[in-house]
Amino acid sequence: MSSIHLVLGGIRSGKSAYAERVAAAIAGCEPVLYVATGVAVDQEMEERIQRHQQRRPHNWSTLEAPLNPVGALQGQTSTASRPLVLLLDSMDVWVSNLMLEHEGTPRLELEARIVGAARRFADYVRETDCEAVIVSSEVGHSLIATSQMGRQFQDLLGTVNQAVAEAADKVTMVVAGQPVQIKPLGAGA
């Protein structure tokens, strides 16, 4: 039976470390497939990626999928070898990557494309019968960005987070390293 657990939090809130603990607990001694959306575009991002890699157990495998996690997952797994648990880290970096990839696309078209991609990922999880833990930043508690692109990112990510939270069985907000359950398993709207 598949499930989706969305883990939200601010920058440096501990959301990734918490999501890794959740994925490890679900997997037990089975490996986790870590779906990485980050790209080492500069030294700071490279260091961030290295910290995440060092924290993960050695038996976990990593799939780099900065633009199309569903396509990457379909390309690497057969029905017999699909992961029991996958961890996507992170939805906000994925949204940023897609915004940059489709720069110049009209706002409504871009929103439809990105929200559609997030919904397809949730559908894929359901179809493959795996347990997914998805990490994303919560932008609703931050200042309104001063640039048009920053505001567009905040709006898009907020909309994507809502769509994924709607599809999720469980939503947890991590604040200062402490998980706060937002949506329990089986809860309706």
Residue 189: inside a domain, yes or no? no
Residue 91: inside a domain, yes or no? yes
Region of 3 (left: φ > 0; alpha: ψ -120 to 50; beta: rest) is beta
Q: Cα separation of 96 and 160, whole Å?
A: 12
Tell me how crowded residue 155 is: count the other CB atoms within 10 A of its CB: 15
Chain-centroid distance of CA 157 in Å reads: 11
Domain tally, the chain: 1
Residue 63: inside a domain, yes or no? yes
Q: Cα separation of 174 and 171, whole Å?
A: 10
Active site residue 58: no
Catalytic residue among 52, 58, 102, 141: 52
Please give the residue range of the domain that contains residue 12: 3-183
Residue 39: inside a domain, yes or no? yes
Residue 134: inside a domain, yes or no? yes
Residue 189 pLDDT: 47
Instruction: Residue 178: give its domain's CATH number.
Output: 3.40.50.300
Residue 155 pLDDT: 95
* Beta strands 170-175; 3-9: pairing state: parallel
pLDDT by residue for the chain (189 residues), tens only, comes to 789 999 999 988 999 999 999 999 999 988 899 999 988 778 887 888 788 778 888 889 999 999 999 999 998 755 556 678 999 999 999 999 999 999 999 999 999 999 999 999 999 999 988 999 999 999 988 788 899 999 999 999 999 999 999 999 999 999 999 999 999 855 554
- What's the DSSP call for residue 143? P
Chain-centroid distance of CA 176 in Å reads: 19
- CB neighbour class for 114 (10 Å; exposed up to 12, middle 13-18, buried from 19): buried
Residue 163: inside a domain, yes or no? yes
Residue 143: inside a domain, yes or no? yes
Residue 113: inside a domain, yes or no? yes
